Amino acid sequence: MSKLDQRTTKLLKGKNFAFVATINRDGVPQLTPTWIDTDGTNVLVNTALGRTKERNVARDKRVTVGLLDHSNPYDRVTIEGKVVKEIRGKEAEDHIDKLSYKYTGNKKYAGRTPSEKRVIFVIEPVKVY
């Protein structure tokens, strides 16, 4: 396990987009731009059940997160890690609203469909560079 340093934590807590790479069944990387968060120790990614990255993580817990500062894209970090926990239910539903507020200023996530169920991937950093 690798620890998140202050600079990386600041980028994760900021209004910065990340790219999350998972591994498709055929071994080809799958890359998704996404909102990002941290609990101070781990990287948090919120997604909907049934999406490609959720299906990929169900099969292979390894992920890589690329993150850059929106005000200076040369300030960037890559985090290799593994999903060590999945959080579902109300906590995941509330978390997507928190991310919506962080990124858009809207207190409720506007992209949610009535049947959508959310999950938070708790990613333990293995290597940070």
What average pLDDT score do residues 10-22 get?
Answer: 97
pLDDT tens-digit readout, 52-67 = 999 999 999 999 999 9
Is residue 100, in this structure, part of any structural domain at all? yes
Is residue 15, in this structure, part of any structural domain at all? yes
Give the number of domains in the chain: 1
pLDDT tens-digit readout, 18-37 = 999 999 999 999 999 999 99
CATH code at 115? 2.30.110.10
Query: pTM (2 decimals)?
Result: 0.95
**DSSP symbol at 5:** -
Alpha-carbon span 28 to 43, nearest angstrom: 23
**Domain housing 87:** 6-128
Alpha-carbon span 45 to 16, nearest angstrom: 13
Is residue 63, in this structure, part of any structural domain at all? yes
109 pLDDT more than 90: yes
